[in-house]
């Protein structure tokens, strides 16, 4: 019931293709000149519009990242303050309970 069902290998539907060997001829043949390769990386044209877009995008990334980091720091500070208040309240309750006995 829990054993996986393995698929069966499909059988080829066409006849096998026979590859015939070719003969290698040696001799002097005219080798055509190789074309010059295209540059590997295209040149990036920086226009004033793209420069403004890059500056705007970078500014947006910095603002969003700063907002997230400040929010995380504020969350840690609030959590630490609330833990400190809880510790003071518990200490006060335990001290008053010990004085009554």
Cα–Cα distance between 72 and 70 in angstroms, integer?
5
| CA distance from start to end of the chain | 67
For residue 18, the model assigns a pLDDT of: 74
pLDDT at 63 over 70: yes
pLDDT at 69: 97
Cα–Cα distances (Å) from 68 to 11, 58, 60, 61, 92, in that order, read: 58, 15, 12, 11, 36
For the chain, the average pLDDT equals: 84
Higher pLDDT, residue 33 or 99: 99
pLDDT for 31: 65
């Amino acid at each position: 019931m829990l054993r996986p069902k393995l698929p069966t290998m499909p059988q080829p539907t066409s006849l096998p293709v026979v590859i015939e060997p070719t003969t290698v001829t040696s001799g002097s043949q005219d080798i055509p000149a190789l074309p010059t390769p295209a540059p590997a990386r295209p040149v990036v044209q920086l226009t004033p519009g793209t420069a403004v877009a890059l500056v705007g995008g970078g500014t947006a990334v910095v603002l969003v990242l700063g907002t997230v980091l400040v929010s995380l720091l504020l969350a840690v500070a609030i959590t630490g303050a609330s833990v400190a208040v809880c510790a003071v309240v518990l200490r006060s309750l335990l001290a008053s309970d010990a004085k009554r006995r």
